[in-house]
Amino acid sequence: MNSPHWWRDAVVYQIYPRSFADGDGDGIGDLAGVRARLPHLRDLGADAVWFTPWYRSPLADGGYDVADYRAIDPAFGTLAEAEALITEARELGLRTIVDVVPNHVSDQHAWFQEALTAGPGSPERERFWFREGRGENGELPPTDWTSSFQGGTWTRVPDGQWYLHLFAPQQPDLNWNHPDVRREHEDVLRFWFDRGAAGIRVDSATMLVKDPELGEIPQREGSPGAHPFMDRDGIHEIYRGWRRVADSYDEPRALVGEVWLADPGRMARYLRPDEMHTAFNFDFMTRPWEAGALRAAIRDTLATHAPVDAPATWVLSNHDITRPATRYGREETSFDFAAKRFGVTADLGLAQRRARAAALLTAALPGSVYVYQGDELGLPEVEDLPLDALKDPMYFRSGGTDPGRDGCRVPLPWTEAGSSFGFGPDGGAAPWLPQPEGWGAYSVQAQENDPGSMLSLYRSALALRRAEPALRGSELAWFDGTDEGDALVFTRGSGAQALVCAVNLGSKPLPLPPHSRVLLSSGPLDGTDLPPDTAVWLRP
């Protein structure tokens, strides 16, 4: 992993600091907790760690409302601790990726506070999108756009003007036509790169540039560039500037985009050689557990990344998504924000088997792999959190119909027993979200010496992925006759070192492809058959 191209096939572990490990016992995860648990990531076989925002923040949106990019939130620790963490991680072979949230800041950010005080028409307001309202007395918002968190996208301030927020009202959108905004973000990048960050994850990466006309959203899809704030052509110039900053370091830094776009061709434009290095593969992540759907996602992904020579990424979940160890056991196994509801039943045993198979599938595909904290433990989504414990604005802004994203953010269990299952010191404050009873059965302690556990499977898969030359590079060959049907079967590498990955997504056992040796399987094999919802790695 000393190559400057480490990001092409890295295993990146995502830490949501608030829920990873609580070092000081206040019930909130922190950097001290992360530093104490870094060996877990080394033993897992990760190459890099991506931290969701750890900056000073009122946490109105779990830290995606940044009040100061150059300070660590006191709940998490100090800048000195972050610097020590980056260094210690690197000593264990783990690079650090920090999260940058360029679309908006917190309403507590100095710039927004200055804008509120300075009043209408002031240069301070120019850094945001302040507008007069429509209607006789300006009582209607300037547009009728819908927020990603539901509801409107404008909030009125006491002097009568409205400001734009594509997310929550506590997250005012920045005006990227303003030179201060551009300069400031390049400075923030340098601030973290100078402290050893090996890369950044770019939040909501398609939304920065707005049409100053603030027109209505086109009714018809398929007019790329015509949307008032999504994927406008002018955005690429910003990332070209960031790439120049990243490339100015001796070990060039990597840019990873959160690019949610339905059109894979438009997504690939963000990955041109002078823009970002990689982007999350949400197409694959949101597909149902069906061979045809996943095969198509894999094919399309590889086909659209090849022309821009960008590696694919494979993602099963993150801090916004229903955990695979629940989702894959539902009747509807695809993921869609708009469809999230309370009370959807899941067969957790089935979900667990499929999540195991999915782990082997993603680890065998060409490109980089993301593991969201807790997925290596097979944690299910916690779907019965007490309503008064919920924190996510998605829940509140939906009027209580969308359960929100707290269920995948429940603090991790490290030990079988203890007041917070080892999340914090025994007897410390209760975790900020309650852990379910029995959470200790999923703990690292409960799993690490059990060869049949999810944790052991992840460790074996990631160790093999690192050791097997077949799993380098970008080539993938579909096995003869498997273009359709219930199995995904493909070969990586060639000759004596080749590796075949086969996944049965159907309901009947299928014969294993010809092989000389079984390297790893996600569940027991049935003689020479591959049971349903099982994946296997074979030496041909």
For 5, the enclosing helix (H) or strand (E) is: none
What minimum distance in Å lies between the beta carbon of 149 and ligand GLC? 7
Q: Which of 106, 161, 204, 368 binds ligand GLC (CB under 6 A)?
A: 204
Q: Which is nearer to ligand GLC, 60 or 454 (CB)?
A: 60
Other Cβ atoms within 10 Å of 314 Cβ, number: 23
In angstroms, what CA-CA distances link 412 with 53, 136, 264, 320, 436?
Answer: 18, 53, 34, 16, 11
C-alpha of 157 from chain center: 33
Other Cβ atoms within 10 Å of 135 Cβ, number: 9
Q: How many Å apart are CA 469 and CA 107, to the nearest integer?
A: 49
Q: How far apart are the first and last CA of the chain?
A: 27
Strand 368-372 with 313-315, pairing: parallel
Other Cβ atoms within 10 Å of 272 Cβ, number: 16
Please tell me whether residue 372 binds ligand GLC under the rule CB under 6 A: no
Q: Which of 203, 375, 381, 533 binds ligand GLC (CB under 6 A)?
A: 203
Instruction: Please say whether the beta carbons of 305 and 313 come within 8 A.
Output: no
What minimum distance in Å lies between the beta carbon of 319 and ligand GLC? 6
User: Which of these, 99, 94, 91, 84, lies nearest to 6 by C-alpha position?
Assistant: 94
DSSP 8-state secondary structure symbol assigned to residue 343? T
What minimum distance in Å lies between the beta carbon of 280 and ligand GLC? 9
**3-class state of residue 54 by DSSP:** coil
Q: Which is nearer to ligand GLC, 316 or 462 (CB)?
A: 316
Residues 85-104 that bind ligand GLC (CB under 6 A): 101
Q: Which two tokens mark 105?
A: 């800041």
User: Which of these, 90, 94, 106, lies nearest to 42 by C-alpha position?
Assistant: 94
Q: Which of 22, 203, 381, 406 is catalytic?
A: 203
For 141, the enclosing helix (H) or strand (E) is: none
Q: Which two tokens mark 353?
A: 């088997």
User: Which of these, 408, 222, 265, lies nearest to 327 by C-alpha position?
Assistant: 408
Q: Which is nearer to ligand GLC, 255 or 502 (CB)?
A: 255
- Phi, psi (deg, nearest 5) at residue 81: -65, -40
Q: Which is nearer to ligand GLC, 61 or 124 (CB)?
A: 61
For 185, the enclosing helix (H) or strand (E) is: helix 179-194
Q: Which is nearer to ligand GLC, 253 or 319 (CB)?
A: 319
Query: Of all residues in this chain, which one has the CB nearest to ligand GLC in the complex?
Result: 64
Instruction: Give the x-and-dash track for 145-174 against ligand GLC (CB under 6 A).
Output: ----------------------x-------
What minimum distance in Å lies between the beta carbon of 56 and ligand GLC? 16
Amino acid at 70: R
Q: Which is nearer to ligand GLC, 167 or 372 (CB)?
A: 167
Q: Is the dihedral of CA 359, 461, 18, 90 positive or negative?
A: negative
Cβ neighbourhood burial of 194 (10 Å; 0-12, 13-18, 19+): exposed
What minimum distance in Å lies between the beta carbon of 10 and ligand GLC? 19
Q: Which of 65, 107, 124, 258 is catalytic?
A: 258
Q: Which two tokens mark 343?
A: 């009370």
Instruction: Give the x-and-dash track for 266-295 against ligand GLC (CB under 6 A).
Output: ------------------------------
What minimum distance in Å lies between the beta carbon of 460 and ligand GLC? 30
Number of residues near ligand GLC (by CB under 6 A): 9
For 427, the enclosing helix (H) or strand (E) is: none
Q: Which of 50, 64, 163, 537 binds ligand GLC (CB under 6 A)?
A: 64
Please tell me whether residue 398 binds ligand GLC under the rule CB under 6 A: no
Q: Which of 30, 61, 173, 231 binds ligand GLC (CB under 6 A)?
A: 61
Q: Which is nearer to ligand GLC, 68 or 290 (CB)?
A: 68
Q: Which residue has 């020479």 as its token pair?
A: 528
What minimum distance in Å lies between the beta carbon of 136 and ligand GLC? 34
Please tell me whether residue 320 binds ligand GLC under the rule CB under 6 A: yes
What minimum distance in Å lies between the beta carbon of 20 and ligand GLC? 16
Instruction: Give the x-and-dash track for 18-57 against ligand GLC (CB under 6 A).
Output: ----------------------------------------
User: Which of these, 506, 474, 471, lies nearest to 488 by C-alpha position?
Assistant: 506
Q: Which is nearer to ligand GLC, 319 or 330 (CB)?
A: 319
437 is catalytic: no
C-alpha of 425 from chain center: 28
Query: Within 229-307, where are the H helices?
Result: 235-247, 264-268, 282-286, 291-305
Residues 101-140 that bind ligand GLC (CB under 6 A): 101
203 is catalytic: yes
What minimum distance in Å lies between the beta carbon of 174 and ligand GLC? 12
Q: Which is nearer to ligand GLC, 167 or 423 (CB)?
A: 167
Q: How many Å apart are CA 354 and CA 289, to the nearest integer?
A: 8
Q: Catalytic site residues? A: 203, 258
Residues that bind ligand GLC (CB under 6 A): 61, 64, 101, 167, 203-204, 258, 319-320
